[in-house]
Each structure stands twice: as C-alpha cells, then as structure tokens.
C-alpha cells in the first residue's frame, strides 16, 4: 500500500468523523454512540422530510455515507499525489 492510498483512507475517515460530528455533535449521547445516532438522524431526516418509507431512508442514508467516504478518499488521494509526487517512484 503506498502513501497516497493510506492518506486517502485517513482522509475518508476524517470526513466520516466530520459528518458524524456535524450530525450529533451537540447531543447528550456518549461519543461511543455517536456513529449510530448520526446514521439514525440521517435516516430520520430523509423519512420525515421527504415522506418516504423507512427502507428507502436507510438506503439513502447508506448512499450518503458511501458518497462521503468515496469523495473524501478521492480528495485525499489526489492531494497526497500532488504533495508527495516527487518522493514516489
């Protein structure tokens, strides 16, 4: 695994952590429960605001999480390739 891939994975995890913090940062839940509560609040937002079924809300929330991970990975990977371009083979 090269440094660009590692940097991309770390960036995607940082992006996911940012999404979780934005969704439940001011809640009274312990930090260990934040990922679950963030996902449930995302599901609630889709179901309540759009009036869709629960299964569609879960699917849309999973798609949002995957998109955040993929976009953050791509940004981190490209940024790492630009910064460390002279140091790689």
pLDDT digits (tens, 9 = 90+) for 46-67: 999 999 999 999 999 999 999 9
Q: Residue 88 pLDDT > 70, yes or no?
A: no
pLDDT at site 85: 79
- Residue 25 forms part of a structural domain: no
- Residue 62 forms part of a structural domain: yes
- Residue 26 forms part of a structural domain: no
pLDDT at site 17: 95
- Residue 68 forms part of a structural domain: yes
- Rounded to the nearest 10 degrees, what angle do helices 54-83 and 34-50 cross at? 120
- Residue 89 forms part of a structural domain: no
Per the structure, the complete domain to which residue 50 belongs is given by 33-82
pLDDT at site 14: 97
A 10 A CB-CB count for 11 gives: 21
| Total domains present in the chain | 1
Residue 3 φ/ψ, nearest 5 degrees: -70, -30
């Amino acid at each position: 695994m090269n440094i660009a891939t590692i940097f991309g994975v770390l960036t995607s995890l940082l992006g996911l952590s940012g999404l979780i913090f934005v969704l439940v940062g001011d809640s009274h839940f312990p930090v260990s429960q934040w990922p679950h509560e963030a996902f449930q609040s995302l599901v609630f937002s889709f179901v309540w605001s759009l009036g869709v079924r629960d299964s569609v809300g879960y699917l849309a929330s999973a798609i949002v999480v995957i998109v955040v991970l993929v976009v953050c990975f791509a940004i981190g990977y490209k940024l790492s390739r630009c910064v460390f371009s002279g140091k790689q083979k």
